[in-house]
Structure 1
Amino acid sequence: MNTRSIRRSAGVLACAAPLLASAQQAAPSASVAQLDTIVVTASRTPQELKNVLSDTSVIDRETLSRAGQSSLAEVLSRSHGIEYVNNGGPQTATSLFMRGANSNQTLVLIDGQRINNASSGIPALNAIPADSIERIEIVRGAASSLYGADAIGGVINVITRQASDKPLSAYSNIGFGTYGTSSYNAGISGASNGWTYSLSGGYQQSHGFDATTTRNPFSHNPDKDSYYQNNVAGSLGYEWKPEQKLSVQVYQTRVNGGYDNGEPYFNDRSVQKLENYSITSENRLADFWKSTLRVGYMVDDNESRNAPADLSPGNSPDGRTTFRTRQNQYSWQNDFRLAENQKFTLAYEHLDQRVKGDIADFTDFMNVTYGDYSQTRRHVNSFTGVYLGDFGRHHVQASLRNDNVSEVGHRTTGGLAYGFDLTGNLRATVAANTGFRAPSFNDLYYPDIGGYVGNPRLKPEESRNGEIGLKYQDDTSELGVVYYHTRVKNLIQTQALDPSNPFAGSTLGNVGRATLQGFTVSGAHSFGNTRIRASLDLSNPKNDDTNEQLLRRARTVLRTSIDHRFDQLLVGAEWYVSDERYDVGQTYMAGYGLFNLTASYDITRNFQVQVRWNNVFDKHYTLAEGYATPGSNAFVNLSWRM
Structure 2
Amino acid sequence: MKRTALSTAILLATTPVLAETPDADSEAHTLDVVQVTAARVAQTVDETLSSVTVIDREEIERLQPQQFTDLLEGRAGIETSQNSAFGKTTSVYTRGTSSDHTLLLIDGVRMGSATLGGASWQFLPPEEIERVEVVRGPRTSIYGSDAIGGVVQVFTREGRKGPPRVNAFVGGGSFNTWETGVGVAGGTENTNYSFSVSHFETDGINVQDDVGDDDRNGYDNTSLATKVTHRLDNGIEVFGNILYSEGESEFDSTEGRDYTDYIHTAIRAGFRSPITARWETEVSVAHSRDENDRFTDGRFSSRYDTKRDSIDWLNEIELSDHLFLTAGLDAREDRISVDDRFLQLFGPGEFEETSRYNVGGFGLLQAEFGQHLVEGSLRRDANEQFGDNTTGQIAWGMRATDTIRLRASYGTAFKAPTFNDLYHPDTTFPDGFRFRGNPDLQPEESETAEVGARYSVDRTYFDVAIFETRVDNLIAGFDPPENVEEARIRGLEMEMGYQTSLWTSRASLTLLDAEDRETGNELQRRSPATGRFDLDRQFQHLSLGGSVIAKSRSYNDANNDERLSGYGLLNLRASYQIAPEWQIQATVNNVFDKDYETARGYNQPGRAAFVKLRYQQR
Q: Distance in 2 between matches of 1:166 and 1:279?
A: 23
Pick from 232, 244, 248: which aligns with 1:252? 244
Pick from 347, 360, 367: which aligns with 2:328? 347
319-328 or 239-248, larger mean C-alpha shift: 239-248
> Which amino acid in 1 is paired with 2:281?
S
376-385 or 66-75, larger mean C-alpha shift: 66-75
SS of 1:51's equivalent in the other structure is coil
Instruction: Say whether 1:231 aligns with 2:214.
Output: no
Q: Distance in 2 between matches of 1:289 and 1:518?
A: 39
Deviation at 1:553, TM superposition (A): 1.1
SS of 1:326's equivalent in the other structure is strand
Q: CA RMSD in A?
A: 1.6
Q: Deviations over 1:515-571 (max 9, x none)?
A: 111001111223562233211111111111111111111000121121111111111
SS of 2:597's equivalent in the other structure is coil
SS of 2:422's equivalent in the other structure is helix
Output the TM-score relative to the length of structure 2: 0.92
Aligned pairs for 1:375-524 within 5 A: 375-450=353-428, 451-494=434-477, 506-524=479-497
Instruction: Say whether 1:177 aligns with 2:173.
Output: yes
Residue 233 of structure 2 is matched in structure 1 by 241
Residue 501 of structure 1 is matched in structure 2 by none
Q: Distance in 2 between matches of 1:60 and 1:114?
A: 21
SS of 1:305's equivalent in the other structure is strand
> Which amino acid in 2 is paired with 1:468?
V
> Which amino acid in 1 is paired with 2:219?
Y
Residue 25 of structure 1 is matched in structure 2 by none
Pick from 558, 566, 571: which aligns with 1:596? 571
Q: Is the 8 A contact 2:74 2:509 kept in 1?
A: no
Change (3 A) 1:518 1:601: same
Residue 267 of structure 2 is matched in structure 1 by 277
Q: Distance in 2 between matches of 1:489 and 1:475?
A: 43
> Which amino acid in 1 is paired with 2:293?
E
Q: Is the 8 A contact 2:380 2:390 kept in 1?
A: yes
| Unmatched 5+ stretches in structure 1 | 1-27, 309-317, 496-505
Residue 293 of structure 1 is matched in structure 2 by 283
Q: Distance in 1 between matches of 2:228 and 2:271?
A: 12
Q: Distance in 1 between matches of 2:368 and 2:202?
A: 51
SS of 2:435's equivalent in the other structure is coil
Q: Distance in 1 between matches of 2:404 and 2:88?
A: 43
Change (3 A) 1:336 1:124: same
SS of 1:549's equivalent in the other structure is coil
Q: Distance in 2 between matches of 1:225 and 1:29?
A: 51
Deviation at 1:583, TM superposition (A): 0.8
Q: Deviations over 1:378-434 (max 9, x none)?
A: 000000101122333111221111111111111110011111111100011100010
Q: Distance in 2 between matches of 1:491 and 1:64?
A: 35
Q: Is the 8 A contact 2:301 2:342 kept in 1?
A: no
Change (3 A) 1:362 1:283: closer
Deviation at 1:125, TM superposition (A): 1.1
Instruction: Say whether 1:623 aligns with 2:598.
Output: yes
Q: Distance in 2 between matches of 1:271 and 1:30?
A: 49
Change (3 A) 1:243 1:47: farther
Q: Distance in 1 between matches of 2:27 and 2:356?
A: 55
Instruction: Say whether 1:117 aligns with 2:95.
Output: no
Deviation at 1:448, TM superposition (A): 1.8
Residue 164 of structure 2 is matched in structure 1 by 168
Q: Deviations over 1:560-605 (max 9, x none)?
A: 1211111111111111111101112520111100011111111122
Q: Is the 8 A contact 1:389 1:396 kept in 2?
A: yes
Q: Is the 8 A contact 1:532 1:562 kept in 2?
A: yes
201-210 or 516-525, larger mean C-alpha shift: 516-525
Instruction: Say whether 1:356 aligns with 2:337.
Output: yes
Residue 21 of structure 1 is matched in structure 2 by none
Residue 315 of structure 2 is matched in structure 1 by 334
Instruction: Say whether 1:31 aligns with 2:20.
Output: no
Deviation at 1:369, TM superposition (A): 7.5
| Unmatched 5+ stretches in structure 2 | 1-25, 429-433
Pick from 500, 506, 520: which aligns with 1:533? 506
Q: Is the 8 A contact 2:74 2:550 kept in 1?
A: no
> Which amino acid in 2 is paired with 1:107?
L
Query: What is the number of equivalent residue pairs in this alignment?
Result: 585
> Which amino acid in 1 is paired with 2:420?
N
Q: Deviations over 1:587-624 (max 9, x none)?
A: 01111000111111111221111222111000011111
Change (3 A) 1:370 1:232: farther
Change (3 A) 1:532 1:224: same
Instruction: Say whether 1:576 aligns with 2:572.
Output: no
161-170 or 284-293, larger mean C-alpha shift: 161-170
Q: Is the 8 A contact 2:145 2:414 kept in 1?
A: yes
> Which amino acid in 1 is paired with 2:148?
I
Deviation at 1:371, TM superposition (A): 1.9
Change (3 A) 1:605 1:389: farther
Deviation at 1:119, TM superposition (A): 1.1
Residue 320 of structure 1 is matched in structure 2 by 301
Instruction: State, as a whole percentage, how many aligned pairs show the same letter.
Output: 30
Residue 611 of structure 1 is matched in structure 2 by 586
Q: Distance in 1 between matches of 2:574 and 2:355?
A: 49
Deviation at 1:339, TM superposition (A): 1.8
Change (3 A) 1:362 1:324: closer
Q: Distance in 1 between matches of 2:540 and 2:297?
A: 55
Deviation at 1:57, TM superposition (A): 1.1
Q: Distance in 2 between matches of 1:69 and 1:571?
A: 15
Change (3 A) 1:242 1:66: farther
Instruction: Say whether 1:72 aligns with 2:47.
Output: no
Q: Distance in 2 between matches of 1:538 and 1:507?
A: 34
Pick from 507, 515, 521: which aligns with 1:548? 521
Q: Distance in 2 between matches of 1:176 and 1:528?
A: 30
Deviation at 1:68, TM superposition (A): 3.2
Misfit runs of 4+, over 6 Å: none
Q: Deviations over 1:106-152 (max 9, x none)?
A: 10000011102211111111111111111011100011001000000
SS of 1:66's equivalent in the other structure is helix
Change (3 A) 1:241 1:38: farther
Pick from 542, 558, 563: which aligns with 2:536? 563
Q: Distance in 2 between matches of 1:478 and 1:241?
A: 41
Output the TM-score relative to the length of structure 1: 0.89
Q: Deviations over 1:146-203 (max 9, x none)?
A: 1000000000001111122223222111111111111111111121252222211100
Residue 81 of structure 2 is matched in structure 1 by 85
Q: Distance in 1 between matches of 2:316 and 2:194?
A: 27
Q: Distance in 1 between matches of 2:350 and 2:34?
A: 44
Q: Distance in 1 between matches of 2:553 and 2:511?
A: 13
